[in-house]
């Protein structure tokens, strides 16, 4: 979980991913516990997770059955990325207050972080907080069928059309409804214009639909937001090659490989550009590397065989490679489309 702002953490309005105590701690019979809890809440609100943790521990030591202290400390642990610790705290809180809304919801979120969220727990949390997007996201991810997954994803977007939710929905729809997927990805980019992943994904979809210029523009915008985005550099190499900008394609592919040496896409994009600018042997080497990383990609084999065709005396090598491939795969094997990065 990312660190939240004070409002998102403490207000229990179902718009945040973590539901914790109110800004004003409830009255306590033990004023020492109340003082420790107030200190914890103030530090938590200020973003001082380490200081908040120490203060929550003090409050729990003084009042082991204090639900606000246990739940607040769990929310702090979720924000700090220590979901297992949060889950243990919430188990204690749940035993003391089984119907507490905050405890049930946070327990579900913590369980999901450690892959332990059961359908029963998710259903219970959703019954208590039916319009909490984070819970609906969990239910979407838990669905085995694509149709059911899309239904829950749409529901989450309808409640909270955050850029990251729009991005996930757009990418999911790209397999079934590319026109709608592009529209939703445009919404994601409009809501978060500096999101490098959203721009790269939007460009990938445009490129795959044949709009190479639009794709190249999106990749460039992605790199302006995150210059070290390996996938965007690889896609820039692909688009530059198709636009006839071979030197730019080589440079972009090299940048992608420097950032992510195991990227099969970057190797094959470098190979395609090298075929016409560097040498056929460099292209063949790049395609061999791509195929070694992803042996199941028929398109990579096709690229390698094409590169070998430009080398003298390579017909025997081509026949050997092709024979080895088709001995393990049927001749009717389909060449998969390039996935959106």
Residue given tokens 């607040």 in the structure block = 72
Q: How many CA atoms lie within 13 A of 9 on its CB side?
A: 29
pLDDT, tens digit (0-9, with 9 covering 90-100), for 136-179? 887 777 777 888 888 888 988 988 899 989 998 998 898 888 88
Who's near 37: CB < 8 A, 6+ residues apart? 21, 25, 28, 55, 56, 59, 63, 66, 68, 69, 72
Q: What is the mean pLDDT of residues 180-198?
A: 92
- pLDDT at residue number 187: 92
Alpha-helical regions (H) of the chain: 6-10, 31-45, 49-62, 67-80, 83-96, 101-113, 119-128, 133-142, 146-159, 163-173, 178-191, 196-208, 212-225, 230-242, 246-259, 264-277, 280-293, 298-309, 315-328
Collapse the DSSP code of 278 into the 3-class scheme (helix H, G, I; strand E, B; otherwise coil) and give the result: coil
Q: Is the pLDDT of residue 235 over 70?
A: yes
Phi/psi region, residue 12 (left: phi>0; alpha: psi -120 to 50; beta: rest), is beta
The rounded distance, in Å, linking the Cα atoms of 11 and 45 is 11
Give the confidence band of 111 by pLDDT, cuts at 50, 70, 90. Answer: confident
What's the first-to-final CA gap in the chain, in angstroms? 24
Percent of the chain with pLDDT over 90: 31
Give the angle 45-134-98 at the CA atoms, nearest 5°.
Answer: 80
Tokens at 301, concatenated: 């084999």
Q: How many CB atoms lie within 10 A of CB 156?
A: 24
Indicate the burial class of 44 (C-beta count within 10 angstroms; 0-12, 13-18, 19 or more): buried
Q: Is the pLDDT of residue 208 over 50?
A: yes
Q: Is the pLDDT of residue 303 over 60?
A: yes
Which string of b and e fits 169-179 if b means at least 16 CB within 10 Å? bbbbbbeeeee
Residues 276, 246: contact at Cβ < 8 Å?
Answer: yes
Q: Select from 146, 195, 215 the least CA-distant residue to 175.
A: 146
What percent of the chain clears pLDDT 70, i.e. is strictly above it? 83
**Residue 53: CB partners within 8 Å, gap ≥ 6?**
73, 76, 77, 80
Is the predicted pLDDT of residue 196 greater than 60, yes or no? yes
How does DSSP classify residue 228? Answer: T
Per-residue pLDDT of 262-280, as tens digits, reads 999 999 999 999 988 878 8
Distance CA 9, CA 80 (A): 12
Predicted local distance difference test score (pLDDT) of residue 97? 87
In this structure, what token pair is assigned to residue 187? 């919404």
| 304, pLDDT greater than 70 | yes
Q: Which of 91-105, 129-143, 206-220, 235-249 has the lowest mean pLDDT?
A: 129-143
Q: Please determine, for residue 302, whether its predicted confidence score (pLDDT) is greater than 60.
A: yes
């Amino acid at each position: 979980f990312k660190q939240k702002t004070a409002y998102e953490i403490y207000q229990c309005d179902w718009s945040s991913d973590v539901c914790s105590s109110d800004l004003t701690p409830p009255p306590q019979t033990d004023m020492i516990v109340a003082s420790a809890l107030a200190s914890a809440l103030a530090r938590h609100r200020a973003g001082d997770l380490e200081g908040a943790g120490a203060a929550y521990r003090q409050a729990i030591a003084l009042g082991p059955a204090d639900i606000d202290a246990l739940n607040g400390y769990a929310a702090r642990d979720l924000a700090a990325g220590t979901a297992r610790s949060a889950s243990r705290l919430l188990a204690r809180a749940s035993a003391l207050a089984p119907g507490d809304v905050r405890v049930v919801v946070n327990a579900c979120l913590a369980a999901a972080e450690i892959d332990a969220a059961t359908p029963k727990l998710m259903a219970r949390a959703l019954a208590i907080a039916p319009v909490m997007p984070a819970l609906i996201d969990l239910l979407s991810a838990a669905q085995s069928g694509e149709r059911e997954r899309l239904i829950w994803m749409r529901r989450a977007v309808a409640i909270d059309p955050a850029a990251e939710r729009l991005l996930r929905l757009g990418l999911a729809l790209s397999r079934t409804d590319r026109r709608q997927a592009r529209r939703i990805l445009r919404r994601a980019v409009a809501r978060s214009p500096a999101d490098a992943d959203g721009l790269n994904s939007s460009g990938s979809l445009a490129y795959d639909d044949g709009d190479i210029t639009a794709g190249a523009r999106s990749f460039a915008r992605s790199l302006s937001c995150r210059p070290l985005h390996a996938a965007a550099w690889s896609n820039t190499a692909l688009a530059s090659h198709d636009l006839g900008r071979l030197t730019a394609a080589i440079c972009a592919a090299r940048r992608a490989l420097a950032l992510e040496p195991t990227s099969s896409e970057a190797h094959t994009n470098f190979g395609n550009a090298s075929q016409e600018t560097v040498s056929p042997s460099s292209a063949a080497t790049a395609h061999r590397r791509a195929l070694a990383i992803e042996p199941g990609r028929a398109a990579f084999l096709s690229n390698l065989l094409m590169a070998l065709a430009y080398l003298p005396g390579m017909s025997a090598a081509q026949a050997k490679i092709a024979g080895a491939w088709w001995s393990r795969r049927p001749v009717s094997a389909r060449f998969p489309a390039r996935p959106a990065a």
